[in-house]
Amino acid sequence: MTTLEPGVRIEVDGVPHAVPAGATVAAALLNAGVSGFRRAVSGTLRAPLCGMGSCFECRVRIDGVPHRRACMEVVRDGMEVRTGA
């Protein structure tokens, strides 16, 4: 595995995190201990399943844009992520 050095700062639900540059938002969130990415119709928490953009379980709000697939986006410095929608 390629080890990535923390190089980017993002905010997850208002809390700052140092994450590796080049990481996907999904990986960054999981590493930060986020377990629930979105809330399902019936109220349970969901997290990434397919990891490659087809299941939509990992969708979060990124910089104000809702329903972004966390597994398909790469972290950017200053990115604001909201989970639990």
- The binding site for other proteins (CB under 8 A) comprises 1-2, 4, 19-20, 22-24, 26-28, 30-31, 35-37, 40-42, 44-57, 59, 65, 67, 71-72, 74
Phi, psi torsion values for 71, nearest 5 degrees: -80, -15
Nearer residue to other proteins within complex by CB, 13 or 20: 20
Nearer residue to other proteins within complex by CB, 4 or 82: 4
Question: Would the CA dihedral through 51, 56, 59, 64 be positive or negative?
Answer: positive
Greatest Cα pair distance, the chain, in angstroms, is 38
Nearest distance from C-beta of residue 6 to other proteins, angstroms: 10
